[in-house]
Homo-oligomer: A and B are copies of this chain.
Amino acid sequence: MNRQSGRVHEKASGPSPLATMRLKDVAKEAGVSTATVSHVINNTKFVTEETRSKVLRAIEKCNYYPNVHARALASGRSNIIGLLISDITNPFFPELVKSIESSVYERGYNLILVNTNYDAERASEYVRRMIELKVAGVALMTAELDPPLLDELVRKQVRVVFNDLGMAGEHMSNIVLDYAVGIEEAVNHLVSLGHRKIAHIAGSSSIRSGVIRREAFLASMARHVPNETPAIYEGDFKFESGRRAATEILDSGSLPTAVVVANDLMALGAMEEFQAAGLHVPADISIVGFDDIAFAALSSPPLTTVCSPRAEIGRRAIEALAMTIEHPNQPGVEIRIPTYLITRKSTAPPRKVKRPNTRG
């Protein structure tokens, strides 16, 4: 029962099911060289059908699993892709992660997931780990990342794709979500319905997407309703802040007939607060969210919202990343993905309450 050596050397009885089989064992079993086995596994040189099937049979018989680490070491490249997100419990992420995960595996890579928790130090530690793992590429799907970390990644030859963290470059691709088109659709939708007095609940002004969305809203409003100055309330992208903003709106004394909110979580919070105050959505006030998180369709009424197509974002991000990994000389690309309005039940024409200059 010699088990100490970690490897059981059989005398002549064929492969042991317990020992981990190496390429060499497969080669011996097939009666060929290790190079040949490697070539049939990787399709990297022509091998006659006969040897090929001998090898395949041997692989089968040995229940052989290639060792990824040995492979990475020998070839100098790994098949691991890193994904860095802020917080998987933020409802924006699950769909994105799912899409990225699928794309990554379809292309034969493996996915390492890290969750920064919005913590810069943790992000930095994670970038270090990615480099240690010699990942082929990293998808940086977080709102903020210290620029030095990005530099370090690029210096270490890691291919990168990110979401508006900078411009596309030699080894980096950039996915830019076009918030403005969706917001324009939203404002246009509300204005067509007859709304004029439209407020905005913005995301934190310290986060880029928050300010971009606010500016897009303002720009659309200026185009559609030039004579009104829309009220802006600021939240922090979380549910509770939507609630608070709604309270402020309620207390402001001049209720808008519609409100465009910078994300669904705040929109859902605002909707609840309005309803708790006795308003009916959409009869008394229309609400438009942003992102189209899963629960947007499940609220009552279902939320009209601008969709950030996360499945597409994930797919195209990995497509771009794989391109820069597999064609090392091609530069990164910039991919623009539009957002678009999904009309559900939280928007309707404003109630005709005060009809000015009405007779009698």
Scoring A70, A80, A87, A89 by chain B CB atoms within 10 A of each residue's CB, the highest score goes to A89
Complex partner residue of A6 from B76, B129, B155, CB under 8 angstroms: B76
- Closest residue on chain B to residue A131 by CB atoms: B65
How far, in angstroms, from A111 to B130 measured CA to CA in the complex? Answer: 11
Task: Write the chain B residue with the least CB distance to A273.
Answer: B300
A94-B93, A134-B69 known; A155-B17 Cβ under 8 A: yes
Interface size on A, residues (CB 8 A): 55
A298 at interface, CB cutoff 8 A: yes
Which residue of B is nearest A113, CB measured?
A: B113
Bound-state CA distance A125–B67 (Å) is: 15
Q: Which of A98-106, A175-183, A197-205, A282-290 has 4 or more CB atoms under 8 Å from chain B?
A: A98-106
Given A112-B111, A113-B101, check contact A132 B65 (CB 8 Å).
Answer: yes
Which residues from chain B contact A155 at a C-beta distance below 8 Å?
17-18
Measured CA separation A117–B110 after assembly (Å) = 16
| A residues 262-306 touching B (CB-CB < 8 Å) | 268-269, 272, 275-276, 294-295, 298, 300
- Chain B minimum-CB-distance residue to A75: B69
Shortest beta-carbon distance, A270 to chain B, in Å?
Answer: 12
A134 to B133, CA, bound (A): 14
Are B133 and A110 neighbours in the complex by a CB distance under 8 Å? Answer: yes
Do residues A89 and B94 form an inter-chain contact, with CB atoms below 8 A? yes
A-B contact pairs, 5 of them (CB 8 A): A67-B73, A69-B70, A272-B300, A275-B300, A276-B300
Q: A20-B157, A70-B73, A105-B114 are in contact. List 11 more A-B contacts (CB 8 A).
A: A6-B76, A20-B156, A65-B128, A65-B131, A69-B69, A69-B78, A80-B112, A87-B98, A97-B113, A97-B115, A275-B300
Task: List residues of A whose CB falls within 8 A of some B CB.
Answer: 6, 17-18, 20, 65-70, 72-73, 76, 78, 80, 87-89, 91, 93-95, 97-98, 101-102, 105, 110-115, 117, 125-126, 128-129, 131-134, 155-157, 239, 268-269, 272, 275-276, 294-295, 298, 300
